[in-house]
Structure 1
Amino acid sequence: MKSHDSLLAARITLAMLEQLPARDDGGHVVLVTSAMAGEGKSFVSRMLAHESAQTTLGDIGLVSTGFIDATMGTKLVDTSIHATRTPHLFYIPFSQEQRADELYNATAVAAGIVALRARFQLSLIDGPVLADCGALLTRVDAVLLVVDAGRTSPRQVRRALSEAAVAPSDIAGVVLNHAPQPLPAWMGCD
C-alpha cells in the first residue's frame, strides 16, 4: 500500500494532468515556478515527474531551464537527454552555457517547446521564479505555482504574479509546501 505522501503525490499529479488541454501536435509542457526562490520548485518538479512516469503515459521529461541550449531548431540534442533509474523518465540538466536572458527570446523558447513536445509525452520544466520565466509563461500548456505557505504571504504571491503580468486565472494549480493545519482562510478554507 502507498504511504500518505505517495498518495498525496499521486493526487497532485492526477489533478495536474486533468488541467492539461487536449493536444494533437505532440506532448504537453508544464512549467513549475514560484513567487520567490527556495519554495520547493525542484522537489515538486521531481515528485510530479516521478509520479507521471509511473502512470505509463509515455516518456516523461524533467527539464531544467537549460533546455533551450539542448535544442537545435526543433530537435533535442540526444546527448543532452539522460535516462534515470525510473522507467520512462528522462532528465535534461541545466546547461552552464545558457544565459538567463534566453528565456526572454520568444523564438528560442518556442523552438525549445516544439522540441520537447516532439520527444516527450509530458515535459515538466523546473523553472525559475515567476519574474525570470520570460516567454515560457505564454508557451507552456500549464503553469503550476509552488508556494511555501510557512514563509510566503498572499501579498508576495500577488505581487509576483502582477510583476510577471500573470493573472491568477492563468495558474493551473498551486502546490502548498509546509501548509499550516488547519489551512488559512485566505486559501478559501474554513
Structure 2
Amino acid sequence: MLSKLFGGSSLPSIDLLAIDRMALHLRHDNDGAVEGRVFIVTSARPGEGKSLIARLLAQAAARHQEGDVLLMDAGITANAAEAASAGLAELLAGAPLDGLVTQSGSPSLWQLWRGHGYHASQLFRGARLRSALDKVRARFPLTIIDAPELSACGALLALVDQAIVVVDTRVTTGEAVKQALDTALGVAGVGQERIAGVVLNRQSQRQIRWSGG
C-alpha cells in the first residue's frame, strides 16, 4: 500500500488523468478474478468529496473495464429523486437485482440507487449485506460503492475486496485518518491490506493525488 503516487495538476477542475490511473489500477486488480470484485469509496469524515470521486472513478472504470461496472449508492442522506427509486434497500430486503439497476451514462455503466426507506444502519446487518453483495458479484465484474464515512460503514469493510479512502487535505489531518482507519479496521476484523489506497483531495484547487499499491 502507498507505493505509487499519481499526482494532481494545476488544472482548474478535477484531475481526470489521476482518476483514469486509479481505474486502471482497479482493472489490473480485477484481471483473472472468478467473481466480480467490489470496492468502496469512503472517508474519515463527511464532506471530503468521496461521492464525486466514486462517480468519476466508476465512469472511468466503465471506459477501461471489460464488462459492466456498477456504481452503488450506499451513503447516508438520499435526495428526493434517489428516494423515489427502488434500489439498495430492496436488494438488502431480498429482492432480485434485475429491475433495480439502471443504465447510467454509457452502455457499460449501471447505477443502483439507495431505495425506499434506506438508512445506512442497514449496512450493519452482515448477513443481508453479504447476500446482496453476492448477487452484485454474480452480475457485475466490478462494483464501486459510494459508502458512508468509515465509522458508518458497518459490515462493508469486512465483505468488500478493498476500500479507497478520500481525504480532504484542507480539513482532515493524517492523525485523524489513522484513528478512523484503526477503529474501522478493528471493528471489521480486517487488516491494512483491505485499504487499496488513499485519494488526497485538495478541493480548493480541485487537485487529487492517488496513493495505492
Which category describes the TM-score, using the shorter chain as reference length? 0.7 to 0.9
> Any idea what the Cα deviations from partners look like across 1:65-93, whole Å, max 9, x if unmatched?
16253356483141x21111222001111
Q: Contact (CA 8 Å) 1:31, 1:140: kept in 2 or not?
A: yes
The residue aligned with 1:18 is: 28
SS at match of 2:164: strand
The residue aligned with 2:159 is: 139
The residue aligned with 2:60 is: 51
The residue aligned with 2:83 is: none
Please report the TM-score for the alignment, with normalisation by the length of structure 2.
Answer: 0.75
CA distance in 2, matches of 1:73, 1:119: 15
1:36 aligns with 2:45: yes
CA distance in 2, matches of 1:83, 1:107: 27
Q: Contact (CA 8 Å) 2:166, 2:200: kept in 1 or not?
A: yes
Q: Report the count of equivalent residues.
A: 178
Deviates more, 1:4-13 or 1:149-158: 4-13
CA distance in 1, matches of 2:123, 2:91: 13
The residue aligned with 1:172 is: 196
Aligned residue type for 1:16: L
CA distance in 2, matches of 1:40, 1:10: 17
Please report the TM-score for the alignment, with normalisation by the length of structure 1.
Answer: 0.83
CA separation of 1:61/1:150 partners in 2, compared to 1, >3 Å: closer, same or farther?
same
State the Cα distance separating 1:56 from its structure 2 match: 4.1
Match of residue 9, structure 1, among 19, 41, 62:
19
Match of residue 76, structure 1, among 94, 97, 100:
97
1:87 aligns with 2:92: no
State the Cα distance separating 1:142 from its structure 2 match: 1.0
CA separation of 1:179/1:85 partners in 2, compared to 1, >3 Å: closer, same or farther?
closer
Greater relative contact order (Cα < 8 A, sep 6+): 2
CA separation of 1:96/1:37 partners in 2, compared to 1, >3 Å: closer, same or farther?
farther
State the Cα distance separating 1:18 from its structure 2 match: 3.3
Structure 1: unaligned runs, 5 residues or longer: 182-186
Aligned residue type for 2:195: I
Aligned residue type for 2:63: Q
- The sequence identity of aligned pairs, in percent, is 35
The residue aligned with 1:116 is: 136
CA distance in 2, matches of 1:70, 1:33: 21
C-alpha RMSD of the superposition: 2.6
SS at match of 1:114: helix
